[in-house]
Chain A
Amino acid sequence: MRSTRGGRVGADELLVQVAGGDQRAFEELYGLVSGPVFGLVRRVVRDPAQSEEVSQEVLLELWRSAARFDPGRGSALSWVLTLAHRRAVDRVRSARAAVDREQREARRSHNPAFDQVTEEVEAGLERQLVRRCLDRLTALQRQSVTLAYYDGYTYREVAERLSLPLGTVKTRMRDGLTRLRDCLGGAA
């Protein structure tokens, strides 16, 4: 397995080269980021064909918009994944908007398994580490974070699903992310 730290440093430099129009650098960058991008998009979008479509759009956008990356503001991989996540979320939300509202009501009353994320987790060091850290959150922190991040719900929708006040959800999200970061901290 590729060293995450090595990959991250590499991605930063490569992205700067890509911003200068370097196609070879993009090929290398593709090797580093396409897996994380595709995996994340698939987790959020779920449908394989649509996931591939969204991933392609994201990677192409990465080429087009590489000049917007500012190395002083975070790692290249975070930047790329932020972009990928936003696109994935946009896609599920527009798909969801098309779904009959009644159907959603039915699903909600059916009380779905909020924590399915942690159950889907497979092998992979990063995955195990994140899972361990997710497990250390309170149930509400974990649900708030994963419903929003992995399932693409807005915080209002999360509040509705968990029957919590908006303020509480925002706080759970912040505390959840902060604890997650602290837990994952040195192991980047």
Chain B
Amino acid sequence: MSVLARLFRRGDLHSLAAPYALDALEPGERAQFEKHLKKCERCAFEVRGLTEGAARLARSMAAQPPPAMRDRVLSAIRNTPQEPGPLRERGRETREYTPRLPAHVWGAEPQASRARVPQRRPFFVPFATATAAAALVVASLFAVQANRTQDKLDAAQAQSREIAHVLAAPDARATTGADTAGRSIGVIASASEGRAVVTLSGYGAPPSGRVRQLWLMRPNVQPRSLGLFKDDTPLVTTGLDKSATSLAVTVEPDGGSPQPTTQPVVQLALKSVGFGE
């Protein structure tokens, strides 16, 4: 492309700032402009100003939503995991549940190098609406139950608190492992607190009458049960000692077993998260 054509093209892109702020671009143009926006500080500045103007148009339309909407949304969020921050954007992996990780949790993971100068990020980023919509459906189903059983709600809240607690530990670290079928186990652990949050993805429901049980493996010691997985809810465990070398998951009869009775379906070393000393 000649310099002139390129300049012309860029000028042309600049002029899309106002239609962009009004959401008046077609998807292709929008993507093109957002790409340009990353490199064009002037455009980003202009878009920000224009967007504030557009937001005033929006606010002037404020209206009272139906009261039932509040209940639905508030119930829904209780069962909806949050996405991590933009550092993870376009990252490798996980379309599934990933707890939001504070920056320090990623430690030496390559994520850190992806950190960009904040103002170079586009102002708008595409969102996973389809997933959000699906989550809402699931959550609404949950809400019906939750409304009846406050206990369940309390349990869910207590669990989020537990997870938040692990995440907040200064030495919290994350690691994941996968089996040959691509199903994975993820853990966020704090060695100093002896706590960990463990998630399974891709395993689906266990066979009828069976449960998945989590085990703590240490050298020269019998495996210790860390609990049973309920559906795909993360398992919060406490009391992990530093000698722990790995976690293992086995399929056991309902109610769990005192010791594993089957081969592990997946195993995960804990060295990278500060254990195994």
Asked if A and B bind, the verdict is yes
Give the residues in chain B near A15, CB-CB below 8 Å.
Answer: none
Q: Are A173 and B18 in contact (CB under 8 A)?
A: yes
Interface string of B118-132 (1 = CB under 8 A from A): 110101110111001
Partner of A56, one of B52, B69, B128: B69
Whether A21 contacts B100 in the complex (CB less than 8 A), given A35-B65, A57-B129, A181-B56, comes out as yes
Check B1 for interface membership: any CB of A closer than 8 A.
Answer: no
CA A154 – CA B197 in complex, angstroms?
46
Q: 8 A-B pairs, CB-CB below 8 angstroms?
A: A38-B65, A39-B61, A74-B51, A82-B124, A121-B60, A131-B60, A145-B57, A177-B22
CA A19 – CA B81 in complex, angstroms?
11
CA A185 – CA B115 in complex, angstroms?
34
Which listed segment binds A: B71-79, B230-238, B255-263?
Answer: B71-79
Check A67 for interface membership: any CB of B closer than 8 A.
Answer: yes
Q: Are B164 and A20 in contact (CB under 8 A)?
A: yes
CA A170 – CA B64 in complex, angstroms?
33
B binding-site residues for A, Cβ under 8 Å: 15-19, 21-26, 48-66, 69-70, 72-74, 76-78, 80-86, 100, 118-119, 121, 123-125, 127-129, 132-133, 135-136, 139, 157, 160, 163-164
Give the residues in chain B near A84, CB-CB below 8 Å.
Answer: 58
Partner of A21, one of B16, B135, B160: B160
Give the residues in chain A near B55, CB-CB below 8 Å.
Answer: 75, 77-78, 81-82
Whether A63 contacts B19 in the complex (CB less than 8 A), given A126-B59, A126-B60, A177-B54, comes out as no
CA A147 – CA B61 in complex, angstroms?
15
Interface size class of A (residues with CB under 8 A): 35 or more
Q: Are B86 and A68 in contact (CB under 8 A)?
A: yes
Task: Classify the secondary structure of B's interface with A.
Answer: helix
Give the residues in chain A near B16, CB-CB below 8 Å.
Answer: 170
Partner of B127, one of A65, A81, A126: A65
Q: Are A72 and B118 in contact (CB under 8 A)?
A: yes
Q: How far is the CB of B147 from chain A (nearest CB, A)?
A: 16
Q: Are B25 and A155 in contact (CB under 8 A)?
A: yes
Partner of A155, one of B24, B51, B60, B160: B24
Q: How far is the CB of A18 from chain B (nearest CB, A)?
A: 8
CA A85 – CA B53 in complex, angstroms?
13
Q: How far is the CB of B122 from chain A (nearest CB, A)?
A: 10
CA A121 – CA B63 in complex, angstroms?
12
Q: How far is the CB of A77 from chain B (nearest CB, A)?
A: 7
Q: A23-B157, A57-B132 are in contact. List 16 more A-B contacts (CB 8 A).
A: A30-B70, A35-B65, A40-B59, A67-B86, A77-B59, A85-B23, A131-B60, A146-B57, A148-B24, A149-B58, A158-B24, A167-B15, A176-B18, A177-B18, A177-B50, A181-B52
CA A8 – CA B65 in complex, angstroms?
19
Give the residues in chain B near A85, CB-CB below 8 Å.
Answer: 23, 54, 58
Q: How far is the CB of A17 from chain B (nearest CB, A)?
A: 12
Residue in chain A with minimal CB distance to B123: A73
Q: How far is the CB of B127 from chain A (nearest CB, A)?
A: 6
Give the residues in chain A near B51, CB-CB below 8 Å.
Answer: 74, 78, 82
Q: Are B48 and A67 in contact (CB under 8 A)?
A: no
Give the residues in chain A near B135, CB-CB below 8 Å.
Answer: 60, 64
Q: Are A26 and B77 in contact (CB under 8 A)?
A: yes
Q: Are B56 and A23 in contact (CB under 8 A)?
A: no
Check A114 for interface membership: any CB of B closer than 8 A.
Answer: no
